[in-house]
């Protein structure tokens, strides 16, 4: 079926860091010779911000002002207009990954209201008779390691009916005592979140204990901002009425792409939190929130 | 002349297996290249259309969190667009086998390389469990297939028509819908599970990897359901079959990606030889599984692909096992948890049987949670299901059985360590029968290959544990001697004997005459005694002797004195190389004579008189065999006193004569506790003691007056004393004490029923004259000595004088 265009990035995981050289090949496969008006390769990186529906009403004034922020954009001409032979043609390329001016290469992040994405696009322009061919391929940028920034910050916590906020009828709550700790709320993104939790006692049977990983995305500028917290994933660490007094491990792997080192810029912020959610059999839901600070080492 | 044939041999063609070689070469025919199979690739392909739609939701992969699979990195890598999937489908042997059974056989064969054939495989357990844990109640399967729309393309021709329709039913599950199969009989249930197993393989072979994963997740979820609890063990068997299939599929697929330059990886490859693409795919699986929402499926699916850690790092499995082990703590239902542990032990044994710690941890964690069985949650569940506790507990046994089998595998050392602890528990709380069982088991485990040789300390300790708790009962057991036979190395054997004797001495409250115990202990003591040789250390000898003495002291035949004596005679013949034992025997025999006297209240009958004479004779012939001179002296004196007390006058005389004639042999220096010391103090002490006894010893009618005293004085006179010491004078002053006491009308003390010289002579003047003569001689000796003293010895001179004055006053009855 005519001509196919493909980009193959050299690294299997497609992960590159600022200062490295992104290399690979563009592969063109065709049964016949291919006439073209030039083949170019474009590297693009941008931050896309979007306001949530509930925010839009309030901040209509700057709705339109939320434009994609370009981080990187450069094009190279790979092949001048001409002909390619039939069969498979591989054209190697190398693209140095550098900051442009003072624009930082933020880490790739796929969120709900904030998206940071890097792509390679290959364009083959053709004559009027044949359609232009385009192939896009995402690659991943990891920020440079933030040396010396990580201080372990363990947290001990105790949850009882008395420690809860936002309770309507405290008297109707069953008695319970849950203790535990997080090894650190300053986390290395490649390492799991760890800790322990002990149900010392609970009048009502435990139904489930979960770790809810939450992203908090803030989009805004001088006029105001929109801040939204949404769930990334929910990991159950206890199922059913667990043994009292026995420490249960807290363990959660940070998903790739959906998390990035905690990011704070003038236009937007990406932060993370974890909720420890205890569900009792009478459908009481107890949540304890811990802000996290993620970084890459 | 040998060169030619050798060359000929070398030039011979290498033998080749063309079939297998072509198999290897074929793999190359599908081009593998970097970048093609990366999960992120399809995202970019579809991004322009789906970007907005995707900006919501969570990555969690179960249905309930309504994830969008389009954005998912794993689903993209597995959607079949990559060439590897095609390749894997062709190369994967599992997908080509039509039935589960053949798969299982193949798997078992593979396992044998990790654990030996002496490990009873899971496959031999599964049939037993399936036939034992059955139900007539109706079962249900609740499947929730999530938003996977794709259909399996073609099912293999081997699949029956019926199965195919069922598969289609399965495929018909609508996106996000739930399918509940109710009212299934046990057979229906098993068929359904087998269908799921088949559809897993079909999904896999048709490159629907995400669907395959979803099937596995849904199946593992069934394991959190404990309705119809008596069927749970069987359900576990059926569903873990599926998990095993899945684990195998994933592992082999990643392995097939590692084929570089026509060579596949060796069995024990290192992670460095795995290419990036395979690693990346493997990592994707782990990331995907780590995001499974529910605990039980996340646990089971990760455990199922535990082996895949080998692709990523050397330490991966050893890090994963403890984590998965503690993860099970989050499972609230104790039955569900114990089966999860059994499964982890199962995959752990397959992949890394050397990692014992996690196996143990699983067992201990199970023990920690055992109390939950009596908690409200479990009890309420049992009431609802009308299941009694005894039946409920039997549901645990296949899992615990399996865990313990894994722990016990290839572990004689571990075995004996456990047995060591276990035996104490058995001793405390059970009867002989159970101890016998434990012992028999220890013998059974430790005898093959002489395993006991590596575990002497433990076996030894185990033995001591038994001894400590149940000495007497234990010695009755028929297992005793076989057990003792295990200690074939003499040093170890002696250690064990020592241990037995120590505990016997420590714990035996009453003396014993039980022939079985005596026989056994004599045997043990004989072993200890016979270990003594020229090289044995003094300390060791002392210790052995102390143990044997302790035993001798505990033997009592009550009033059967003759039996007692014959026991001592036997003991003397057995333990003749250990002097302290002989000393003890002499004391024991003396004590026996005194006991006899006590029983007869001092009036011996002919029979008892003969018996005590026998005792005296025993001592008399035993004492000369001792080497320590002071021991001999003291024993002569002591035995003489006993003979005297038992009215054996001539025997007493014989002892005293022997003592007198031994005195000249006392050396100047003797060894005390390994140090050489002057002997004079000891001699002085002995002689004073002797003098006190001589006061009450009646003169022999056929010998002269004070025959023994004279004899002793002669010996003292002839003894070569230190030149500048006053020992001799001091002894003479003591003799004066004795002589003055002898001149009294009635002596200061007597031996009951023995007439001393005061009665014999009745203050006869001839007797007194004899004593006076003796006194004069002694005083003359003393004065001679005083004359020789120099001025510098004034101090001792005056002290001697004061001694002497006191004496004289005493003798001559002068007023002070």
pLDDT of B7-31, one tens digit each?
A: 344 444 555 665 665 555 554 444 4
The answer to whether B700 and B694 have CB atoms below 8 angstroms apart is no
> Residue B361 contacts by C-beta under 8 Å, 6 or more apart in sequence?
B322, B325, B326
CA gap B293, B144 in Å, rounded: 14
Q: Which of B450, B454, B463, B453 is nearest to B420 (CA)?
A: B463
d(CA B738, CA B321): 88
Indicate the burial class of B533 (C-beta count within 10 angstroms; 0-12, 13-18, 19 or more).
exposed
- Measure Cα distances from B490 to B15, B527, B740 in Å: 56, 9, 61
The neighbour count for residue B688, using CB atoms within 10 Å, is 15
What residues have CB less than 8 Å from B429, skipping those under 6 apart? none
Half-sphere exposure of B631 (CA within 13 A, CB side): 19
Cα of A10 to nearest chain B Cα, Å: 6
Length of chain B: 816
* Two tokens, residue A41: 């390769």
Contact between residue A248 and residue A100 where contact means Cβ atoms under 8 Å apart: no
Model confidence at B742: pLDDT above 60: yes
Positive/negative CA dihedral, B564, B570, B573, B578: negative
Collapsed DSSP state (helix, strand, coil) of residue B324: helix
Hey, which of B94-98, B471-475, B573-577 has the most confident mean pLDDT?
B573-577
* Structure confidence at residue B661 (pLDDT): 93
The β-bridge partners of A159 are A178
**Pick from A24, A112, A256: CB nearest B287:** A256
| A180 in B contact zone (CB under 8 Å) | no
Residue-level length of chain A: 297
Pairing relationship of beta strands A285-295 and A186-188 according to DSSP bridges: parallel
Report the run of H or E that residue B457 belongs to, with start and end.
helix B456-476
- Which of chain A's residues have a Cβ under 8 Å away from the Cβ of B294? 236, 239
The tokens 């010289």 sit on which residue? Answer: B757
- Give the angle subtended at the CA of B680 by the CAs of B676 and B681, to the nearest 5°: 95
Say whether A137 and B291 touch across the interface (CB within 8 A).
Answer: no
Q: B261-295: buried (b, 16+ CB within 10 Å) or exposed (e) per residue?
A: eeeebeeeeeeeebbebbbbbbbbbbbbbbbbbbb
Q: What is the pLDDT of residues B67-84, one digit of tens each?
A: 333 344 444 344 333 333
Whether residues B280 and A24 touch (CB distance < 8 A) is answered with no
Q: In chain B, what residues touch A235 (CB-CB under 8 Å)?
A: 60, 290-291, 293, 298
pLDDT bin (cut points 50, 70, 90) of residue B187 is confident
Contacts of B365 in chain A (CB under 8 A): 246
Contact A85, A97 (CB under 8 A): no
Q: Mean pLDDT across the stretch B743-759?
A: 89
Average pLDDT over residues B457-467: 72
Please check the confidence at residue B759 and state whether its pLDDT lies above 80: yes
Divide the 297 residues of chain A into consecutive groups of 10 and give the mean pLDDT of each group.
Answer: 84 89 90 87 89 59 65 89 88 86 87 91 85 90 80 90 80 87 92 94 90 89 72 93 92 93 88 93 88 90
Note whether A238 contacts B332, CB cutoff 8 Å.
yes
pLDDT > 70? residue B64: no
DSSP SS3 for B275: coil
Q: With CB atoms and an 8 Å threshold, state whether B326 touches A110.
A: no
Instruction: State the average pLDDT for chain B.
Output: 77
pLDDT at B262: 64
Backbone angles phi, psi at B559, to 5 degrees: -85, -5
| Residue B683 scores a pLDDT above 60 | yes
Q: For position B113, what pLDDT does the model report?
A: 44
The size of the A-B interface in CB pairs under 8 A is 143
For residue A122, give both structure tokens: 């290959």
**Does A134 contact B at CB distance below 8 Å?**
no
At B481-505, the pLDDT tens digits run 667 776 777 777 888 788 788 877 8
B47 vs A contacts (CB less than 8 Å): 136, 138
**Confidence (pLDDT) at B570:** 93
Residue whose entry in the numeric block shows the structure tokens 């297998």: B20
Picking from A4, A8, A12 by the largest number of B CB atoms within 10 A of its own CB, the best residue to mutate is: A12
* Cα dihedral sign, B153-B159-B162-B167: negative
- Which residue does chain B place closest to A215, by CA atoms? B58
Backbone φ/ψ region at A132: left (φ over 0), alpha (ψ -120 to 50), beta: beta
Range name among A57-61, B120-124, B160-164, B690-694 with the lowest pLDDT average? B160-164
In whole angstroms, how far apart are CA B709 and each of A123, B635, B655?
135, 19, 14
Residue with tokens 């693409």: B277
The C-alpha atoms of residue B752 and residue B603 are separated, in whole angstroms, by 10
Report the largest interatomic distance among the alpha carbons of chain A, rounded to a whole angstrom.
Answer: 82
Of A11, A237, A255, the CB nearest to B295: A237
DSSP codes, B729-750: HHHHHHHHHHHHHHTSSS-S--
Which one, of B738, B741, B733, B754, lies nearest residue B804 by Cα?
B733
Distance from CA of B68 to the nearest CA of A (A): 12
Q: Give the best residue of A13, A111, A115 to mutate against chain B (max B CB count within 10 A).
A: A13
Which pLDDT band, with edges at 50, 70 and 90, does B93 fall under?
Answer: very low
Q: What is the pLDDT of residue A131?
A: 83
pLDDT band at B571 (very low <50, low <70, confident <90, very high): very high
Instruction: DSSP for chain A, please give it.
Output: --EEEEEEESSTT-EEETTSEEEEEEEEEESS-EEES-EEEEEEEEEEE---HHHHHHTGGGTTT-PPEEEEEEEEEEE-SEEE-SEEEEEEEEEE---BTTB--PPPEE-SSEEEEEEEEEEE---TTS--EEEEEEEEEEPPP-TT------EEEEE-GGG-SS-S-GGGSPPEEEEEEES-SEEETTS-EEEEEEEEEESSPEEEEEEEEEEEEEEEETTEEEEEEEEEEEEEEEESSPPTT--EEEEEPPPTTT--S-EE-SSEEEEEEEEEEEEETT--EEEEEEEEEEE--
Q: Do B38 and A12 touch (CB under 8 A)?
A: yes
Task: Answer yes or no: do A242 and B73 touch at CB < 8 A.
Answer: no
- pLDDT bin (cut points 50, 70, 90) of residue B441 is confident
The tokens for B805 are 């004055």
Instruction: Report the range of poorest mean pLDDT among A175-189, B31-45, B471-485, B652-666.
Output: B31-45
Kindly state the average pLDDT of the residues B663-692. 89
Q: Can you spell out the DSSP letters for B121-170? A: PTHHHHHHHHHHS---S-EEEEEE-TT---------TTS-HHHHHHHHHH
Residue A34, CA distances (Å) to A217, B525, B776 in order = 47, 103, 150
CB-based contact, A179 to chain B, within 8 Å:
no
Q: CA-to-CA distance for B774 and B776, rounded, in angstroms?
A: 5
Question: Distance between CA A201 and CA B446 in Å, rounded?
Answer: 46
More confidently predicted of A106 and B439? A106
CA distance B563 to B566: 5
The ipTM (two decimal places) reads 0.92
Confidence band for B701, pLDDT divided at 50, 70 and 90:
confident
Confidence of residue B50 (pLDDT cuts 50, 70, 90): very low
pLDDT reported for residue A56: 56
> What SS3 class is residue B384?
helix
- Interval B594-643: pLDDT, tens: 999 999 998 999 999 999 999 999 999 999 999 889 999 999 999 999 99
**The pair of three-digit structure tokens given for residue B333, joined into one six-digit string:** 């239902």
- Chain A residues within an 8 Å CB radius of B225: none
Q: Is A104 exposed, middle or buried (0-12, 13-18, 19+ CB in 10 A)?
A: middle
pLDDT digits (tens, 9 = 90+) for B143-155: 765 543 333 333 3
> Looking at residues B272-287, what average pLDDT do you find?
89
Q: For chain B, how long is the longest CA-to-CA vector?
A: 146
């Amino acid at each position: 079926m005519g001509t196919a265009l493909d980009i193959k990035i050299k690294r299997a995981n497609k992960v590159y860091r600022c200062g490295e050289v992104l290399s690979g090949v563009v592969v063109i496969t065709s049964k016949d010779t291919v006439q073209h008006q030039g083949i170019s390769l474009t590297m693009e990186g941008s931050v896309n911000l979007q306001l949530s529906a509930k925010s839009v009403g309030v901040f209509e004034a700057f709705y339109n002002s939320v434009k994609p922020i370009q981080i990187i954009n450069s094009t190279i001409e790979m092949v001048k207009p001409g002909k390619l032979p039939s069969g498979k043609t591989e054209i190697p390329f190398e693209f140095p990954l550098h900051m442009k001016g003072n624009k930082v290469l933020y880490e790739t992040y796929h969120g709900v209201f904030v998206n940071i994405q890097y792509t390679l696009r290959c364009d083959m322009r053709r004559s009027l008779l044949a359609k232009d061919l385009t192939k896009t391929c995402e690659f991943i940028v990891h920020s440079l390691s933030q040396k010396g920034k990580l201080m372990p910050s363990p947290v001990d916590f105790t949850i009882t009916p008395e420690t809860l906020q936002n309770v309507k009828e405290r008297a109707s709550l069953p008695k319970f005592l849950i203790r535990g700790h997080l090894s650190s709320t300053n986390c290395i993104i490649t390492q799991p979140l760890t800790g322990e939790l002990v149900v010392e006692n609970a009048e009502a049977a435990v139904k489930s204990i979960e770790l809810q990983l939450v992203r908090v995305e803030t989009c805004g500028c001088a006029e105001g901002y929109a801040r939204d917290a949404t769930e990334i994933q929910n990991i159950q660490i206890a199922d059913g009425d667990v043994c009292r007094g026995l420490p249960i491990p807290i363990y959660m792997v940070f998903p790739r792409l959906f998390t990035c080192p905690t990011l704070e810029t003038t236009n937007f912020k990406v932060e993370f939190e974890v909720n420890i959610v205890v569900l009792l059999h009478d459908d009481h839901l107890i949540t304890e929130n811990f802000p996290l600070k993620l970084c890459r080492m | 002349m040998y060169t030619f044939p050798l060359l000929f041999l070398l030039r011979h063609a290498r033998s080749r297996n063309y079939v297998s070689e072509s198999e290897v070469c074929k793999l190359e025919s599908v081009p593998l290249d970097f970048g093609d199979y990366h999960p992120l690739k399809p995202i970019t392909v579809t991004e322009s259309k789906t970007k907005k739609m995707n900006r919501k939701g969570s990555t969690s992969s179960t249905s309930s969190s309504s994830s969008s699979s389009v954005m998912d990195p794993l689903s993209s890598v597995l959607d079949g667009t990559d060439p590897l999937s095609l390749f894997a489908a062709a190369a994967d042997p599992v997908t080509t086998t039509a039935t589960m059974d053949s798969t299982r056989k193949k798997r078992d064969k593979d396992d044998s390389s990790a654990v030996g054939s002496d490990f009873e495989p899971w496959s031999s357990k599964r049939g037993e469990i399936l036939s034992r844990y059955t139900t007539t109640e109706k079962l249900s399967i609740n499947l929730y297939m999530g938003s996977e729309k794709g259909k399996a393309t073609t099912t293999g021709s081997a699949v029956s028509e019926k199965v195919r329709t069922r598969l289609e039913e399965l495929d018909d599950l609508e996106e996000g819908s739930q399918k509940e199969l109710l009212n299934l009989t046990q057979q229906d249930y098993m068929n359904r599970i087998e269908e799921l197993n088949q559809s897993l393989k079909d999904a896999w072979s048709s490159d629907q990897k995400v669907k395959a994963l979803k099937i596995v997740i849904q199946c593992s979820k069934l394991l959190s359901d404990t309705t119809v609890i008596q069927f749970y063990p069987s359900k576990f068997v059926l569903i873990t079959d599926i998990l095993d299939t899945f684990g195998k599929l994933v592992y082999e697929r990643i392995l097939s990606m590692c084929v570089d330059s026509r060579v596949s990886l060796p069995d024990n490859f290192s992670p460095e030889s795995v290419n990036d693409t395979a690693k990346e795919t493997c990592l994707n699986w782990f990331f995907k599984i780590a995001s499974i929402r529910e605990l039980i499926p996340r646990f089971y699916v990760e455990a199922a692909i535990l082996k895949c850690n080998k692709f990523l790092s050397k330490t991966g499995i050893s890090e994963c096992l403890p984590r998965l082990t503690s993860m099970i703590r989050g499972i609230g239902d104790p039955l569900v948890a114990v089966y999860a542990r059994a499964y982890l032990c199962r995959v752990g044994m397959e992949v890394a049987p050397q990692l014992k710690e996690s196996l143990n941890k699983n067992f201990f964690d199970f023990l920690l949670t055992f109390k939950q069985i009596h908690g409200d949650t479990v009890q309420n569940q049992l009431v609802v299901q009308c299941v009694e506790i005894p039946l409920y507990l039997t549901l645990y046994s296949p899992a615990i059985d399996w865990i313990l089998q894994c722990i016990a595998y290839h572990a004689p050392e571990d075995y004996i360590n456990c047995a060591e602890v276990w035996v104490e528990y058995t001793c405390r709380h059970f009867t002989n029968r159970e101890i016998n069982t434990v012992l028999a088991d220890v013998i059974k485990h430790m005898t093959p290959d002489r395993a006991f040789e590596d575990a002497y300390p433990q076996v030894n300790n185990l033995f001591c544990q038994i001894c400590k708790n149940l000495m007497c009962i234990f010695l009755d057991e028929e297992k005793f001697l076989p057990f003792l036979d295990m200690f074939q190395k003499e040093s170890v054997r002696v250690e064990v004997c020592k241990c037995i004797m120590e505990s016997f001495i420590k714990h035996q409250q009453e003396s014993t005459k039980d022939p079985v115990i005596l026989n056994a202990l004599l045997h043990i003591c004989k072993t200890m005694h016979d270990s003594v040789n020229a090289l044995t250390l003094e300390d060791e000898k002392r210790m052995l002797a102390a143990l044997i003495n302790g035993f001798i002291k505990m033997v009592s035949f009550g009033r059967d004195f003759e039996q007692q004596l014959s026991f001592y005679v036997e003991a003397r013949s057995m333990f003749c190389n250990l002097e302290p034992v002989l000393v003890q025997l002499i004391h024991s025999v003396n004590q026996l004579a005194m006991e006899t006297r006590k029983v007869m209240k001092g009036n011996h009958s002919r029979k008892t008189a003969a018996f005590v004479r026998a005792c005296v004779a025993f001592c008399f012939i035993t004492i000369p065999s001792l080497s320590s001179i002071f021991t001999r002296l003291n024993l002569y004196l002591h035995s003489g006193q006993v003979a005297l007390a038992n009215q054996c006058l001539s025997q007493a005389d014989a002892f005293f004569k022997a003592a007198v004639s031994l005195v000249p042999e006392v050396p100047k220096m003797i060894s005390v506790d390994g140090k050489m010391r002057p002997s004079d103090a000891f001699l002085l002490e002995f002689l004073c003691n002797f003098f006190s006894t001589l006061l009450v010893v009646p003169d022999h009618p056929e010998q002269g007056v004070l025959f023994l005293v004279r004899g002793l004085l002669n010996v003292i006179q002839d003894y070569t004393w230190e030149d500048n010491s006053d020992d001799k004078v001091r002894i003479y002053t003591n003799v004066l004490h004795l002589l003055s006491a002898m001149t009294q009308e009635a002596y200061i003390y007597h031996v009951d029923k023995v007439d001393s010289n005061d009665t014999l002579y009745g203050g006869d003047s001839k007797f007194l004259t004899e004593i006076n003569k003796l006194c004069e001689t002694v005083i003359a000796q003393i004065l001679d000595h005083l004359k020789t003293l120099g001025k510098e010895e004034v101090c001792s001179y005056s002290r001697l004088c004061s001694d002497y004055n006191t004496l004289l006053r005493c003798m001559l009855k002068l007023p002070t």
